[in-house]
Structure 1
Amino acid sequence: MKLKKLAVLAICLFAPLFARAAQGDPISLETLILDVPTAEVFDRYQASFLTRAYDHGTVMETIDFGVYPRINIGLSIAAHELLGSSSSVRVLDPDFQVKWKIYDGNLYLPAIAIGYDGRRYGYGYDSHRNYAKTKKFLDDRKGGYLTFTREIIVPGLNATAGLNFSDFEWDELYWFMGTFYKLADQVGLMAEWDNLRNIRDSRLNLGARFYLHPSLALDAAVRRIGRGDESERILQLRYVTTF
């Protein structure tokens, strides 16, 4: 089983090397801020490869496809302690995500989408939020969500807000909000307040996006700001192409 997971991770990591971006394939600004999903989707026949390196040498690869107009599906898989000198690398169970944009929005109303995001972060924490040899996650999956997005105040400033319930448990209802602002052709700023129900469980994330190519962008961010040892720095690389 571990060999199968390693094979899936290898395919996800190296698939972008065999894909060729068509002239003008854009990096989508609105499908995802950092952890907060927006109401935007990739076009049909468009694919996104997102590689994230984060806490404890973990690397996650996410592939999203525009399979139908307004509908995206994706798969994510991560290897814990892959980076560094650890001898206990663990390939985690794959997760999936899907999004359906149900309304494009207009001058007065935001775009609307519903979806499911199974990605989890912070593997190997105990119930007291201490890093330990466990199979628990610090951040549970977003689960089912409803999200609204629109441009506000000034051109290029996009705001997103929505709600989610992990594993479709209605008593675990959370809120999220975020903004993205493109300062120039090469730089964008991101901010989000995720997992909102109480201050202890919420996450404040800030980051910047650097456009290396029309189809390639690098994100640098800090997650869980103000949470002491739980705060983490991440780097992620997104490549957009067609299939």
Structure 2
Amino acid sequence: MNIKRLTALLACLLCPFALQAAQGDPISLETMIIDVPTAETFDRYQASFLTRAYDHGTVMESIDFGVYPRINIGVSIAAHELLGSSDDVRVLDPDFQAKWKIYDGSLYLPAIAIGYDGRRYGYGYNEHRVYADTKEYLDDRKGGYLTLTREIIVPGLNAAAGMNFSDFDWDELYWFTGMYYNLGDKVGLLAEWDNIRNMRDSRLNLGARFYLHPSLALDAAVRRIGRGDESERILQIRYVTNF
């Protein structure tokens, strides 16, 4: 294993503890459902630290910054088989993400954002979708995307929908949609249908979000529901602070 890469990963995991959140700082507007991006962005001078634990003992840390009003940039890095007893821990290549909210929305029109998400999931699967000793991914990066978000039907129920094309390849155009609904200020319900192009490639994800503190939220979710061995359970925790 590359020691420099592992050191970089550990620095990402420990970095949130070096920053302080003011008492009562709220979790910023919902920028992601589970994998589906919404049109919301973090506020300027906010930093978000998202740690996800998922299939095959993998841990991914994503760091996003509100660098300008309505503009976020970030970077992600993951370690495969970090959890558990495996001796074959691999620090994967880092990815980056960016988002620009180009329209805030109105009474009749949704908020609109464009962005790029380079994160990939399901490392070590072959072309037959079988876990093997490969460097391929089960879920490719979302790539460039356009997303729209607005509240619908009842207060607190928000819907997002959009399209994405991995690596800016128009021949690989996909669609996504999702909803989230907050039950008071402690729990949110999450549902999304991602990577829509045909039934085999699409992913149904369901989860719940628990607000542990105004600046801390825990997600528990199931991805690729109904896909047999490809289904996975994930846990992720997001911490938002100012810098």
- Once the 2 structures are TM-superposed, how far is the Cα of residue 4 of structure 1 from its aligned partner? 2.3
1:186 partner amino acid? K
Q: 2:6 maps to what in 1?
A: 6
Alignment of 1:23-172 (within 5 A): 23-172=23-172
The DSSP-based 3-state class of the residue aligned with 2:129 is coil
* Alignment TM-score, normalising by the size of structure 2: 0.99
Deviations 1:18-56 (A, max 9, x none): 111113321134200100000000000000000000000
Q: Structure 1, residues 107-165: CA drift from partner, whole Å, max 9, x if none? A: 00000000000000000000000000000000000000000000000010010000000
- Which stretch shifts more, 22-31 or 175-184? 22-31
TM-score, normalised to structure 1's length? Answer: 0.99
Residue in 2 that maps onto 1:221: 221
Distance 1:179 1:164 in 2: 17
Distance 1:209 1:29, change over 3 A: farther
Q: Which residue of 2 aligns with 1:184?
A: 184
Q: Matched residues in 1 for 2:158 and 2:5: separation? A: 37
- Return structure 1 stretches of 4+ with deviation > 4 angstroms: none
Task: Give unpaired runs (5+ residues) of structure 1.
Answer: none
Give yes or no for the alignment of 1:195 onto 2:195: yes
Query: Which structure 2 residue ranges, 5 or more long, are not aligned?
Result: none
Give me the CA root mean square deviation: 0.9
Query: What fraction of aligned residue pairs are identical, expressed as a percent?
Result: 82
1:169 maps to a residue whose letter is D
Deviation at 1:3, TM superposition (A): 2.2
What secondary structure sits across from 2:171 in the alignment? helix
**What are the within-5 Å matches in structure 2 for residues 222-241 of structure 1?**
222-241=222-241
Tell me the distance in 2 between the aligned counterparts of 1:11 and 1:87. 21
Amino acid at match of 1:142: K
- SS where residue 138 of structure 1 aligns? strand
